[in-house]
Amino acid sequence: MSADSPDPLSGFDATIHAPNRLRVCALLDTAGEAEFARVQSHLGVSASVLSKHVTVLMDAGYVAQRKATRDTRQRVWLHLTPEGRTAYHRHLAALHAIVGPPPAPAP
């Protein structure tokens, strides 16, 4: 690492690093937007556990929600904010820097 290149470990984000929050970010990064119930099902957690993790991510400015009525029921859709997407990608880069390159396949 040169003096003028940023330390990749500076992107490590303890807010994102908690396993369920990391999984929420990963899902929203690929899905773009997902209904709360879909995220809950994907993670296999209760609504209250997911709600607590989403609240932490929202308080950090990483996740936003959109409420809409569907089938006469109020639904909540989650998505990463631009800041959340940047923080998630920086966190992944930091994790890659920590573990190094993947091992070469065995012959």
Please tell me the pTM assigned to this model: 0.83
Confidence label for 6 from pLDDT (cuts 50, 70 and 90):
low
- pLDDT tier at 2, thresholds 50, 70, 90: very low
Q: pLDDT tens digits for 14-57? A: 999 999 999 999 999 999 999 999 999 999 999 999 999 999 99
Separation of alpha carbons 73 and 61, rounded Å? 26
User: Terminus-to-terminus CA distance in the chain, angstroms?
Assistant: 31
Q: What does pLDDT average to over the chain?
A: 90
Say yes or no to pLDDT of 71 above 90: no
The pair of structure tokens assigned to 43 is 């993670």
Position 83, amino acid = E
Topology given in CATH for the domain delimited by 9-98: Arc Repressor Mutant, subunit A (1.10.10)
pLDDT-derived band at 104 (thresholds 50, 70, 90) equals: confident
Could you give the percent of the chain with pLDDT greater than 90? 72
Domain ranges for the chain: 9-98
